[in-house]
Structures are given as C-alpha cells and as structure tokens.
Structure 1
Amino acid sequence: MNDNRPTFLYFPQWQGCGLTNAIQTGAETLRAAFSEAQPITIPLSDEPLTTCFGISGYQPLLTQLGKAQTILEQQQPARLLLVAGDCAAEIAPISYLNQRYEGDLLVLWLDAHADLNTPESSPSGHFHGMPLRLLLDGQFPATAFRAESPLTSQQVVFVGLRDTDPAEDRYIADHAIPVLATGSPLAEHLAPLLARAKARNIYIHLDLDVLNPQQFPDLQCPVAGGYLAEDIAQLLRHLLEVHHVVGMSLTETTATKPEDLAPIQPILALYRDWLLKPTIAAS
C-alpha cells in the first residue's frame, strides 16, 4: 500500500502583478495556514523587473517558470496543491498535469478575470493577466515563454468571470468557452458542463478574487460582486466528493496576518483536508 497525498507546491511569485510585492506577503500568509505540511518551494529570482516583449518583469518570470518546470519534472507528482502569489504561477503545474494525464484534464478557472490577454493585447503588461492564454496557445511568439503541454479550449470552464477586456471577450466567444456566471447555483449548473467535457481529471484554479470583496477584501484585484466563501466551499466539497481532482490552487491575496483569512476558513479547511488526509491505493 502507498500513501498518495498531494504534493504541496509553494510558489510566492509576485512579479506577474507589476511593481508591488504585496501578493508575496499574501502567499506567505496562505502558506502559514498549512503549517502542518512541508511544501516544495519554487525559489524566486532577484533579476530586475525590466519590460521585454510587452511583459513586465520578463526575466524573473521566465527564470521562475523554468525552475517550476524542472522541479515538477523531478518530483513527478500525481496530484498537487499550489499555494501561490500571482496567477501566472499556474503555468507549470497545469501544463505538467495536462501532460501527465495525456490531455484528459479539465481546468475549472474560478476567477473574476479571464487571464486570456497576450503581451500585445494586455493593457498593463502584467503577466498575471496572461497565463491561461499561454496555456492555450502554447507559446507567445518572439518570447521564450512556452507551455510544454498546451490546453485546448474544450478543457476550460470559467466560474465567476466578471471583469474582462475586449480581446478576452472575443477569444471566449470565438472558442465557445463556457462561462458560469456569478449567482448561478454552482454544482447544479456546472454538472452538464463537466459531463460535456468528459474529462476524468479536474484541476481547480482558485483566484480568491472570485469572492465578493465585501466579505473578503484582501485581494490583489478586487471586483464588485462575486461569490461568498461558503458558496465556493460547497462547490469544492461537491467536486472532491464526486470527481477525481488532481490539482487545486489558491492565489492572489494580499492578506498580511492569519486573522485576515477568517472569511475563507471554509475553503481553507477543505484544502487542508485534501492535502493532509491520506488516500490509500494498492501498490
């Protein structure tokens, strides 16, 4: 028999958000909420935040992506939990799992933002608004950024999306990516989308700005509206009970102390249980 608990990946990347590292502090605060577990840490680069090819912080982001890809290839996790700073930390874990499961992966993008910009379409040049587009396109031309195992648009479902740029709206429409709007009964309305996707393995990207900032204000990019933490916890509980979840993430908070995380304790409790509870499989 073997204990196949998820690998705990800690990636406090902040350079994708621009010049402020408040989100690194947020990642540290989230990391402390999992004090019972020992993570694998992706080291950060101290290279300058120079803008190249329309991407702010190009070199440290590229270096860190390479480190994350190398560590995942070395560790070969079957499941993983990512606690991260900005959303661009998702590129290596999702690409790795997509390759491991040979494309039999559905990515639920729980986020107020689509993160579908390219360096050319991004209004800010901030890389945390581009990771899903890189995962879908596989590369950004003229840059060294690559996703080793790109997704198809049929592998993505948006939940809670409510702040998009025109280029992102066009991409979503052109590729018919499903969007579960804020306010929908989550599990009930998500079920037919999951059935249509026919993927046996699920990855849950959770940018905490999917939540209502009136309940949880410690967010890098708050957007009015959104779900309550209890609604998201109920969805997560359903997904963990009914589906084969191979990865989950927590990203984009600016919380500075444990008390700041009180509103999301229902979510954190589920993540801790999933990370720490052994799942025994025959060897």
Structure 2
Amino acid sequence: MAPTFVVVPQWQGSVSPRAMRLSDGAEAIRGDLPSSVTHQVPVPAEAGDALDTGIDRFSTLVMVRERLAIALRGGTGPVLTIGGDNGVSLAAVEHASRQHPDDLAVVWLDAHPDLHTPDTSPSGGFTGMVLRAITGEGAEGLTLDAEVRVPLQRVVLGGARAIDPAEDVLIQERGIVSLPVEDLDSPDALVAALRATGARTFYLHLDLDVLDPAVLAGLADLYPFGLSVEGLNRLITALRADFELAGATIAGFAPASPEAATDDLPSILRIIGALTR
C-alpha cells in the first residue's frame, strides 16, 4: 500500500466522555506521518445539530463527510484515513468502493459492531451506526447509496465484545460473520472468512479499541481481553498476503495528554507500518 494519509480529527460521532480527545489523538498521529504524503481535512469546532435525524451532531458529520469525499476525489491508490472517530470510514469506504465496484469487502476490527441505525441506537452516536450506514441502511446524508454500498454478505467483523441486543439480533438474522477475539489468535479464520465473501479486495477498518487496553492506554472506550499489537499485525500481514488492500482506517485514539500520546505512538506506528510496507 503506497503510504498516502488523510487525517480527519473528527470527534462529533462519538458519545464517549473522552470524545474530544479523539481530535487530539488524530493530531498526535499526524505529527509522526510524512508531511509530503499527508493531507488534513478541517473539522469544525462546533458540535452540530441532530436535525431530527436521531443522530447527534448530524449537521457537522455531514459537513465533514463532504469535505473528506472532496479530499479523496481524484486519487487512484489506497489511502490510510486517520480519525478521529469511526465515522470517518463512511466516506473512506465510499471512495474505495468506487475504485473497486462489486469487488470490495469490509473487514471491521472493533470492540463494537457499529451496526445500529437511528431507530435502534441507545445513544444517538454515529460511531455506533457507521458500519450499518456503509451497508446502505441509516439516515439520508450519512448512508452509502446503492451503487457504492457494501452488502452485509461482504462484511467480516472481528474482535467485537461490546455487542448491543439489537446488533446481536441483526448478526444472527442476517448471518453476519463475527469472529471473537479468541478466533483471531491465528489469522486462519479471518482469512477464510474474507475468502468466503468472494471479494479480491478489502477495506480494513481498525478501531484501536479492538486492542487490549493493557497494550494501548489511549482509548475512548476501554474493553479488556482484546488483541495484542503483535496479534493485530499478524492479521494485517496475512490479509495483505492473500488480498488487495483497497484502503484502511485507524480510529479511536484518545490520549489523556501529549505525554500519554507519546507512550502509545510507537505501537500505533507499528500498525501503520504493517499497513503500508
């Protein structure tokens, strides 16, 4: 993957008490990226309005989605999008899907499935709806349309361990592949699940909360029993060996302070290395 980066310090999709730290996390990562191939999408300071959509801060999220889409437009190679919150993956997957129509799967490594709609979300936070929006279901303005959506049959979840009841029902009823952390000890199950989608290319969404908080402290949400950095990098390496990487997102870095960010950045840069080398 040619190392091209787009940094989007968006926090408005999160409802975590640590949401504002997501902007700081994106900026901290940007400081260690090569400036010649790194672009930044401006994110408004204001929270934004729901506008009766059931999505908190909807107006700002739509604005950032449009700005990110413009930043990605015209590019032909894969891009590593740095959030911010998970919502940045909506426009990023849309861009990848336009480049790989009918042949793109999404691998979603996250402590949460992010499969809510405004009707089922207990929080109203878009970060918990973004994968469902990528599959074409959600609120107009923050949902992929038919020509670029990725159907649930080409979605593979990995590492989810904070699954709400409505999401669990959807996973069971739609037959969505969801691999628990223990199935990711080796890459075999994840590679087999991606192969079963029939896709030759994949987009990797990585929320850092898929990692165990013992190995990365700067997380917006803390869920124990996650992956190690070494285990995650083995998964990335194995997937890239068998499939074409169409693009990737790293989201969810929420350091408590600049000093804390410095402690976590070596691990994040190792993950970036696995995605780009």
Structure 1 stretch 101-110 or stretch 263-272: which is displaced more?
263-272
* Structure 2 residue runs without a partner (length 5+): none
Task: Give the direction of change, closer, same or farther, for the CA distance of 1:273–1:24 in structure 2 (3 Å limit).
Answer: same
Q: Secondary structure at the match of 1:21?
A: helix
What TM-score, normalized to structure 1?
Answer: 0.87
> What is the distance in 2 between the residues matched to 1:85 and 1:123?
21
Task: Give the direction of change, closer, same or farther, for the CA distance of 1:69–1:81 in structure 2 (3 Å limit).
Answer: same
The residue number in structure 2 matching 1:192 is 192
Task: Give the direction of change, closer, same or farther, for the CA distance of 1:269–1:203 in structure 2 (3 Å limit).
Answer: same
Q: How far did 1:115 drift?
A: 0.6
Contact 1:230 1:266 in 2 (8 A): no
> What is the distance in 1 between the residues matched to 2:36 and 2:272?
12
State the AA in 2 paired with 1:97: A
Does structure 1 residue 9 correspond to structure 2 residue 10?
A: no
Q: How far did 1:214 drift?
A: 2.0
> What is the distance in 2 between the residues matched to 1:179 and 1:196?
13
Q: Secondary structure at the match of 1:15?
A: coil
Task: Give the direction of change, closer, same or farther, for the CA distance of 1:261–1:199 in structure 2 (3 Å limit).
Answer: farther
Task: Give the direction of change, closer, same or farther, for the CA distance of 1:48–1:88 in structure 2 (3 Å limit).
Answer: closer
Contact 2:159 2:179 in 1 (8 A): yes
List, as ranges, runs of 4+ consecutive aligned residues in structure 1 with deviation greater than 6 Å: none
- The number of residues matched between the two structures is 270
Structure 1 stretch 19-28 or stretch 122-131: which is displaced more?
19-28
Q: How far did 1:22 drift?
A: 1.1
State the AA in 2 paired with 1:180: L
Does structure 1 residue 88 correspond to structure 2 residue 87?
A: yes
Contact 2:216 2:264 in 1 (8 A): yes
Q: How far did 1:94 drift?
A: 0.4
| Superimposed CA distance per residue, residues 204-233 of structure 1 (whole angstroms, 9 cap, x where no aligned partner) | 111000011122121001112111111101
Task: Give the direction of change, closer, same or farther, for the CA distance of 1:132–1:210 in structure 2 (3 Å limit).
Answer: same
1:7-156 to 2 correspondences below 5 Å: 7-18=4-15, 20-35=19-34, 37-52=36-51, 53-73=53-73, 75-140=74-139, 143-148=140-145, 149-156=148-155
Q: Secondary structure at the match of 2:205?
A: strand
The residue number in structure 1 matching 2:269 is 268
> What is the distance in 1 between the residues matched to 2:47 and 2:238?
43
Does structure 1 residue 228 correspond to structure 2 residue 228?
A: yes
Contact 1:208 1:253 in 2 (8 A): yes
Q: What RMSD in Å do the two structures reach over aligned CA positions?
A: 2.1
Q: How far did 1:264 drift?
A: 6.4
Structure 1 stretch 106-115 or stretch 9-18: which is displaced more?
9-18
Q: Secondary structure at the match of 1:157?
A: strand
> What is the distance in 2 between the residues matched to 1:81 and 1:208?
14
Q: How far did 1:137 drift?
A: 2.2
Contact 1:232 1:267 in 2 (8 A): no
Contact 1:237 1:270 in 2 (8 A): no
State the AA in 2 paired with 1:111: D
Q: Secondary structure at the match of 1:17?
A: coil
* Structure 1 residue runs without a partner (length 5+): 278-283
